[in-house]
């Protein structure tokens, strides 16, 4: 049987060899060339041909022209592939044509390669003319020629196949380590190693992929390929894990590449893990990777982490250039931190790092967003002084900041200055101004600007139409709205969410629910998904039209779409039920939500309790509170404070004190945010609120929870929390919550070693 198997393999091998010879001879006959296929062995023809490419040759009767790529052999062992750069026409004596060749990547012609004393090639030296090529398909020839170990491995495999066909399975099983070893031996030939790796069927072993990465990294020519391979590996393997990352940190290029790829792939947490490992190994990322990490953190709203990472980069010795600082300025823009942006600009000036247009535009946008128009103008003036010309983004930011504060006349003046500076306004410029005039109530000027926009060849987009539509809807001019909508259809301007929501909200406010539902259907037919603003408008409209069943259906549909109803949505439904003298039906809302598959959470109960208290149905609010606790949902500080204030308003101080005592028992403290919320909700119940604050202070419900409560004079009660930042130690009045008590009398009562300060007065809230 063994002899039979051996004969079968020998016959098979013979058939393969015979078939190859037949194909080869057939190609010779078809092409007329003695060597129809050749492999490029050198780099002399780069970038046209690279080592390992297979060339297809043809020897036709057509004359060879200048620029043709030919293969010639003037007696050497290996033919040469070069380009014809000069052709000497036929001689009169023997009609012979002479050629001169040169490699595209060589500094001089090939005369130094010809036989000694030979200056030209003749027709008999030419083996064929290149008519096509197959990239990287000849890597086997290169490997066999330059690496004898590969030839030995292949010979061993063939031998094992012919003699003992099942003994080579262990060789295939060990392919990852064998492949890594082969790649290591090919390290002097990165192109060959890459071609060899690509020829293998996927998936490629991780060890071999990492070996190829380390092989390609030192060669700048192969950096794009290495980054692409690293990107693919990062998607298939957790390269940021502690098991794999150490193998990458030894190379000077790979850690920064990986940090850059993870940051650009919106994977900031993985990028942070890589950065921490680099910092622990004292590996400094390059500026490109550092700026990419800061940008990714800014886009993910991880601004506090970005500040920490930036400080760590500074201590680690990262080369802080303009791009890194720009990324950090972007972080400041996302966080709204003007003070940090100013300090960064000061650091750039001190370090001699120039600010570019992006730097100035980012700071200007930050100032405009914060309402600091004077500071933004100063930055623009500094731009001009430093020779950085303001572009359309600069002017648009300034115009938007003024329009946001309804200073449209100054914004129009900026438009004129913009034109004088030689900067052409774009769609954003005009749309911002149109929106600003609409918000300022000057619809006529907005329409005039739209006409000016069209005269300059810029057709209004959907944002421009939305600004005018919103103002028309606010004024109740629905006929003009329909005219504008028809114009949008004629100009093929596709309506978006803002358009539809504006129309739905306008119809709901007018009580025209039929038209609102029609817009909703058209919105869905056009492929636009309903968002939370759509559902809120519908709930409000149905409640206003006293169609409470439809309002509940809209609420259920809203929750089914994944949107949680806020306080306003539930308040409209509660108000509708109360106006129909059916306040008891509010108690059934949690059960209805449960039946529809939406278990009510703490936010739902909180909204119901707050609104019932506001409407004066304190007993029903207490029932909802008891039901909430019966279902294992813990009430928060806002619920307790609302109940206590409602009991005080209803003349039930005992119940209010019980609520406050329970708050103290559960260590629920009134924060500045809760104070602001209560002052907004009960602005017309100042007496009850004052009593609430008095009892809360008496029980220590304001002076704890990592906050301090102190008096700043004139009866001002200041809340200062550790979570709040105070610029230049300013009073947080109107920011984190400040209670001003215009007290009538101050009563001091000693109790053991403690002194209670009770203020009995009205309060004034500054927002």
Contact 717, 739 (CB under 8 A): yes
Instruction: Answer whether the bond into residue 47 is a cis peptide, omega within 30°.
Output: yes
Q: Rounded to 10 degrees, what is the CA torsion of 485, 553, 605, 536?
A: 0
Which residue numbers are catalytic? 44, 82, 110
CA angle 430, 435, 438 (to 5 degrees): 125
What is the SS3 assignment for 414-441?
HHHHHHHCCCCCCHHHHHHHHHHHHHCC
* Phi, psi (rounded to 5 degrees) for 677: -65, -45
If residue 83 lies in a helix (H) or strand (E), which one and from where to where?
Answer: strand 80-88
- Alpha-carbon distances of 108 from 48, 60, 66, 112, rounded to whole Å: 17, 28, 16, 9
CA distance 530 to 517: 12
Contact 719, 736 (CB under 8 A): yes
Residue labelled with tokens 């083996």: 127
Helix (H, G, I), strand (E, B), or coil: what is residue 738?
strand
CA distance 323 to 290: 9
Q: Within a 10 A sphere around the Cβ of 315, how many other Cβ atoms?
A: 9
Token output for 549 = 């069943």
What contacts 24, CB < 8 A, 6 or more positions away? 36
Q: Within a 10 A sphere around the Cβ of 310, how many other Cβ atoms?
A: 23
- Alpha-carbon distances of 425 from 397, 431, 433, 494, rounded to whole Å: 12, 10, 11, 23
Token output for 449 = 């600007």
- Of the candidates 552, 462, 479, 539, the residue with the CA atom closest to the CA atom of residue 505: 539
Cβ-count burial of 202 within 10 angstroms (0-12 exposed, 13-18 middle, 19+ buried)? exposed
Assign residue 422 a region: left if phi > 0, alpha if psi is -120 to 50, beta otherwise? Answer: left
Residue 205: DSSP 8-state: P
Token output for 368 = 């405009």
Pairing of strands 98-102, 80-88: antiparallel
Q: What angle do the packed helices 478-490 and 462-474 form, to 10 degrees?
A: 170
Cβ-count burial of 61 within 10 angstroms (0-12 exposed, 13-18 middle, 19+ buried)? exposed
């Amino acid at each position: 049987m063994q002899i039979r198997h051996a004969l079968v393999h020998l016959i098979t091998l013979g058939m393969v060899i015979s078939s190859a010879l037949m194909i080869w001879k057939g190609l010779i006959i078809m092409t007329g060339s003695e060597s129809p296929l050749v492999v490029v062995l050198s780099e002399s023809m780069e970038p046209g041909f690279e080592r390992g490419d297979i060339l297809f040759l043809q020897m036709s009767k057509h004359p060879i022209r200048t620029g043709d790529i030919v293969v010639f052999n003037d007696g050497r062992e290996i033919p040469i592939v070069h380009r014809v750069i000069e052709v000497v026409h036929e001689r009169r004596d023997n009609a012979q044509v002479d050629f001169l060749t040169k490699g595209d990547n060589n500094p001089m012609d090939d005369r130094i390669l010809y036989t000694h004393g030979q200056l030209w090639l003749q027709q008999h030296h030419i083996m064929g003319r290149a008519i096509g090529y197959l990239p990287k398909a000849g890597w086997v020839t290169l490997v066999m020629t330059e690496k004898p170990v590969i030839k030995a491995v292949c010979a061993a495999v063939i031998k094992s196949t012919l003699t003992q066909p099942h003994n080579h399975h262990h060789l295939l099983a060990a392919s990852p380590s064998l492949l890594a070893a082969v790649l290591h031996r090919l390290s002097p030939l990165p192109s060959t190693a890459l071609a060899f790796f690509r020829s293998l069927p996927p998936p490629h072993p991780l060890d071999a992929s990492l070996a190829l990465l380390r092989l390609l990294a030192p060669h700048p020519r192969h950096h794009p390929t290495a980054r692409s391979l690293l990107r693919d590996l990062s998607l298939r393997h957790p390269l940021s894990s502690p098991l794999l990352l150490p193998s990458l940190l030894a190379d000077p290029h790979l850690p920064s590449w990986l940090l850059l790829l993870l940051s650009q792939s919106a994977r900031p947490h993985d990028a942070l893990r890589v950065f921490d490992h680099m910092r622990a190994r004292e590996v400094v990322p390059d500026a490109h990777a550092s700026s990419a990490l800061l940008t990714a953190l800014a886009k993910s709203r991880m601004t506090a982490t970005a500040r920490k990472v930036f400080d760590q980069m500074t201590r680690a010795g990262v080369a802080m250039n303009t791009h890194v600082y720009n990324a950090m300025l972007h972080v400041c823009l996302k966080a709204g931190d003007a003070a940090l942006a100013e300090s960064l600009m000061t650091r750039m000036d001190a370090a001699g790092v120039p600010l570019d247009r992006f730097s100035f535009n980012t700071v200007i946008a930050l100032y405009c967003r914060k309402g600091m128009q004077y500071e933004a103008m100063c930055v623009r003036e500094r731009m001009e002084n430093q020779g950085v010309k303001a572009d359309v983004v600069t002017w648009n930011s300034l115009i938007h900041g003024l329009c946001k504060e309804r200073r449209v006349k100054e914004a129009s003046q900026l438009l004129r200055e913009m034109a004088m500076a030689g900067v052409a306004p774009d769609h954003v410029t005009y749309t911002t101004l149109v929106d600003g005039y609409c918000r300022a109530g000057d619809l006529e000027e907005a329409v005039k600007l739209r006409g000016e926009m069209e005269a300059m060849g810029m057709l209004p987009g959907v944002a421009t139409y939305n600004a005018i539509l919103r103002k028309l809807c606010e004024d109740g001019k629905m006929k003009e709205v329909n005219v504008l909508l028809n114009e949008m259809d004629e100009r093929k301007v596709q309506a978006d969410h803002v358009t539809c929501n504006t129309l739905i909200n306008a119809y709901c406010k007018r009580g025209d629910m039929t038209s609102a539902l029609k817009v909703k259907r058209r919105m869905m037919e056009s492929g636009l998904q309903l968002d939370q603003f759509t559902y809120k408008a519908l709930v409000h409209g149905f409640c206003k039209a006293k169609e409470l069943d439809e309002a509940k259906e809209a609420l259920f549909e809203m929750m089914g779409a994944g949107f949680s109803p806020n306080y306003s949505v539930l308040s409209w439904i509660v108000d509708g039920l109360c106006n129909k003298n059916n306040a008891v039906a509010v108690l059934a809302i949690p059960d209805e939500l449960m039946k529809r598959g939406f278990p009510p959470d703490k936010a739902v109960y909180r909204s119901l309790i707050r609104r019932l208290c506001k409407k004066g149905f304190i007993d029903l609010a207490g029932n909802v509170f008891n039901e909430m606790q019966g279902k294992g949902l813990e009430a928060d500080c806002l619920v307790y404070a609302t109940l206590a204030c409602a009991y005080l308003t209803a003349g039930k101080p005992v119940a209010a004190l019980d609520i406050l005592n329970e708050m103290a028992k559960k260590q629920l403290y009134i924060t500045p945010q809760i104070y602001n919320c209560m002052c907004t909700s009960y602005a017309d119940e100042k007496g009850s609120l004052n009593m609430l604050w008095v009892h809360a202070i008496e029980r220590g419900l304001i002076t704890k929870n990592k906050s301090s409560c102190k008096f700043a004079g004139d009866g001002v009660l200041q809340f200062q929390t550790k979570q709040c930042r105070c610029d230049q130690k300013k009073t947080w009045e109107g920011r984190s919550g400040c209670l001003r008590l215009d007290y009538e009398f101050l009563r001091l009562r000693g109790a053991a070693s403690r002194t209670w300060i009770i203020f009995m007065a009205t309060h004034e809230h500054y927002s």
